[in-house]
Amino acid sequence: MSLLDLSPDEVLTTTRAVRKRLDYDRKVERKTIEDCLRIALQAPNGGNMNSWRWIVIDDPALIARVADLYRGGMDDYISTFDEAGYPGAGVEGADRIETSTMHLRENFHRLPALLLPLIPGRTDGDGGPGHVFYQASQWGSVIQAVWSFMLALRTRGLGSAWTTAHLWRERELAELLGVPHEIYMQVGLFPIAYTLGTDFKPAHREPIEQVVGWNGFAPGGAEGS
């Protein structure tokens, strides 16, 4: 398939979390997903061990069951809110994020495909010496690949979003898909669908002067410069 005419900088700055603009009715060919995964698997990973595993779900009946777990996990998360509601309510664009999240929730069962990345080892233990090291090493061995997958989708006119709500019911999804839960940790759950239009733009971000320190910590400004 032909790729969008985007420069590398455009791909990197316009690959968004897409929910409302996913085309829930258009089929995604397996070859397209495999092409994106081949690119993703070129990402760096710890020791070049290639210990990750990837599950693509494209059976409609199975997607419907996963959607139930996703919605249930979201309910579990919402039940933890206090009277102030969603913790990120004060962030710019939070209202749009909330409506798009609810749109995805309502249409999750209609998605053409889903991606479930797995990494061996669990970071939900009791901690201890070296815990942060091992945690960073595990996540650092898969996050680049997932982002590469999302970039590859973007260049082909598809989109996704990094969702984690189902992780409140991770064990249930592991049982559904035959994943050895004690060995493999689920990274997230990623919709795969064509987008309605391809004209995405950079999102709001804080100026680098507020978040970047040179040779030291910058607490909300340039004090670290």
* Domains of the chain with bracketed CATH: 8-195 (3.40.109.10)
Which of the pair, 124 or 148, is modelled with greater confidence? 148
Report the alpha-carbon distance of residue 106 to residue 75 in Å, rounded: 13
Contact 98, 90 (CB under 8 A): no
Which of the pair, 222 or 211, is modelled with greater confidence? 211
pLDDT tens figures, 67-83: 999 999 999 999 998 87
Q: Nearest 5 degrees, angle CA 12-CA 104-CA 9? A: 5
| pLDDT > 70 fraction of the chain, expressed in percent and rounded | 91
Instruction: Please check the confidence at residue 20 and state whether its pLDDT lies above 50.
Output: yes
Question: What pLDDT, on a 0 to 100 scale, did the predictor assign at position 108?
Answer: 98
Question: What pLDDT, on a 0 to 100 scale, did the predictor assign at position 84?
Answer: 67
Instruction: Please check the confidence at residue 181 and state whether its pLDDT lies above 70.
Output: yes
pLDDT tens figures, 85-141: 666 666 666 678 889 999 999 999 999 999 999 999 988 876 677 788 888 999 999
Question: What pLDDT, on a 0 to 100 scale, did the predictor assign at position 115?
Answer: 98
Question: What pLDDT, on a 0 to 100 scale, did the predictor assign at position 62?
Answer: 98
Summary mean pLDDT of the chain: 91
Residues 6+ apart with CB under 8 A from 36: 149, 152, 153, 156, 158
The CB-based long-range contact list for 126-129 (8 Å cut-off, 24+ gap) reads none
Q: Nearest 5 degrees, angle CA 29-CA 32-CA 35? A: 150
Which of the pair, 169 or 1, is modelled with greater confidence? 169
> Quick one: average pLDDT of 152-180?
98
